[in-house]
């Protein structure tokens, strides 16, 4: 299983450069003001100059559709990750402008059938821990709940993934697992990534 890596939630330019040097598959920039990792009005070149092989991803929560489209153009985003209550029609309106990743918070009460309406409108799902804060909680959810996922759309796995969880990825025998999304467990402080831990993360993923 070749699992891609998305590193999310950077906001310090020098640290971003260090993360880019690790060559992750995706980098996430959070454009949601309610997040501790909100990147407020960055220099467009900071994101536009990231090598094309690394898919720059804008993370939004219930944002106006036209503002998301404007951000795609301004920052040359390769993907958008939607963490709010965005509808399937909203996702469809972004298809073709960038890859569309629709996030859902998972807990024991989550109804996976709600994903059916989105299947044709998104490129990927992202499964995160259900919290009121739209991600970044540092908490994991029970990966056994993924047994209830019946769609064919590939997905990102998120939610409190740290070094100690990486070895457990081998237990997920699911070709739909496309990538992991790491954030708060690989930080020195909100938005400042621990490059040593991320380097170890890459080495572990390469062996899975």
201 among known catalytic residues: no
Which residues lie below 8 Å from residue 55, measured CB to CB, with a gap of 6+?
A: 25, 26, 27, 78, 79, 99
Marked catalytic residue, from 107, 109, 123, 128: 128
Full DSSP string of 110-144: --GGGGGGGTTT-SEEEEEE--TTSS-------GG
**Residue 8 among the catalytic residues:** yes
User: Which residue in 8, 91, 181, 201 is the catalytic one?
Assistant: 8
Q: Cβ contacts of residue 180 below 8 Å, gap of 6+?
A: 3, 4, 5, 6, 156, 157, 158, 161, 166, 169, 205
Residues designated as active site: 8, 128
């Amino acid at each position: 299983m070749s699992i891609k890596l998305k590193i999310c939630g950077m906001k310090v330019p020098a640290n971003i450069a260090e993360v880019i040097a690790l060559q992750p598959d995706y980098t996430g920039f959070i454009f949601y003001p309610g997040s501790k990792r909100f990147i407020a009005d960055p220099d467009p070149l900071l994101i536009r100059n990231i090598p094309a092989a690394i898919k720059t991803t804008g993370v939004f929560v219930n944002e106006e559709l036209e503002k998301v489209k404007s951000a795609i153009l301004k920052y040359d985003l390769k993907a958008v990750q939607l963490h709010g209550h965005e509808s399937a029609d909203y996702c469809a309106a972004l298809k073709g402008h960038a890859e569309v990743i629709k996030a859902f918070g998972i807990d024991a009460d989550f109804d996976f059938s709600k994903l059916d309406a989105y299947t044709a409108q998104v490129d990927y799902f992202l499964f995160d821990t259900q919290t009121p804060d739209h991600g970044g909680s540092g908490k994991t959810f029970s990966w056994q709940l993924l047994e209830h996922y019946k769609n064919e759309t590939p997905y990102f796995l998120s939610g409190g993934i740290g070094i100690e969880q990486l070895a457990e990825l081998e237990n997920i025998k699911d070709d739909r697992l496309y990538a992991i999304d790491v954030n708060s467990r690989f930080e020195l402080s909100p938005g400042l990534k621990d490059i040593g831990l991320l380097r170890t993360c890459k080495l572990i993923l390469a062996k899975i």
